[in-house]
Amino acid sequence: MNPYKEKFISVMKGRISVFIDAANLEMSMKDLYVNPKDIPDSLGNYTAEDLAWRVSYKKLKQFIESAGTTTGAAFYSVRFDNEHHDRFLSVIKRSGFRLITKPLKEYQDHTPDLPHRKANFDVEIAVDATFNQDAFDTLILFSGDCDFEYLLKHLRGRGKRCIVFSRAGHISKELLAAASQYFDVIDFRDIFLEIIPRKAKSPASFDAGPRG
């Protein structure tokens, strides 16, 4: 068994609820290096530079459910209102996640080449997690955003276990300190990540630009 999976299962406590900050997770995956030894035989005609990692949300949901009773799994994402992204959101929904979306906002205080965009879900995730805290014993958060430090401290003060998944170099020191346990998603590449050709675009461009 993957030793990180063993560690993950060992730190679970009671009922589990999952909160995914889609933009943060997808952006942290964007430039993740593909080691040639990880390339499957079916993609053997590609070089590592032509390939990229992405999250298989179906496998992720199955993995979480294998660790214990899941009472909630929510996916928070900007909505781009195009066919490509609509298909992606349909896949997320079919994988068993509750979708929480909102449109991308653009402000006119930057140049056209560097627009000011905003579509973060800090408030929505914090409110939902707090409002539903009686429904779970372990919170699993996919994000590296320091703004969740206060939420994790609040929940841990009420006896909840708070597990954070992110990428090395993409997680704030504040969130690291506030979490009960931190895991790097790359250590679970054989469980819920997959390799795809770069020409097959990522589910959407999640770069929301400067945050306001």
Instruction: Write the pLDDT tens digit of every residue in 14-67.
Output: 999 999 999 999 999 988 999 999 999 999 999 999 999 999 999 999 999 999
Beta bridge partners of 18: 73, 140
Is 202 inside a domain boundary? no
Pairing of strands 193-197, 98-103: unpaired
**What is the rounded CA–CA span in Å between residue 136 and residue 185?**
22
Q: Examine residue 38 and state whether it is found in any structural domain, yes or no.
A: yes
CATH no. for residue 62?
Answer: 3.40.50.1010
- pLDDT for position 114: 54
- Residue 112 forms part of a structural domain: yes
Domain range enclosing 132 = 3-197
Is 212 inside a domain boundary?
no
The answer to the question of residue 139 being in a domain is yes
Asked whether residue 206 carries a pLDDT value surpassing 90, the answer given is no
Phi/psi of residue 21, nearest 5 degrees = -85, 90
CA distance 29 to 193: 10
Residue 203 placed within a domain: no
Mean pLDDT along residues 186-205: 81
| Angle at alpha carbon of residue 142, lines to 138 and 146, rounded to 5° | 100
- pLDDT tens across 154-173, in order? 999 999 999 999 999 999 99
pTM beyond 0.85, yes or no: yes
Length of the chain (residues)? 212
Could you tell me if residue 204 is inside a domain? no
Poorest-pLDDT segment among 79-88, 142-151, 175-184: 79-88
Residue at 211 is within a domain: no
Indicate the pLDDT class of residue 120, thresholds 50, 70 and 90. Answer: confident
Say how many domains are in the chain. Answer: 1
> Tokens 């919170």 belong to which residue?
139
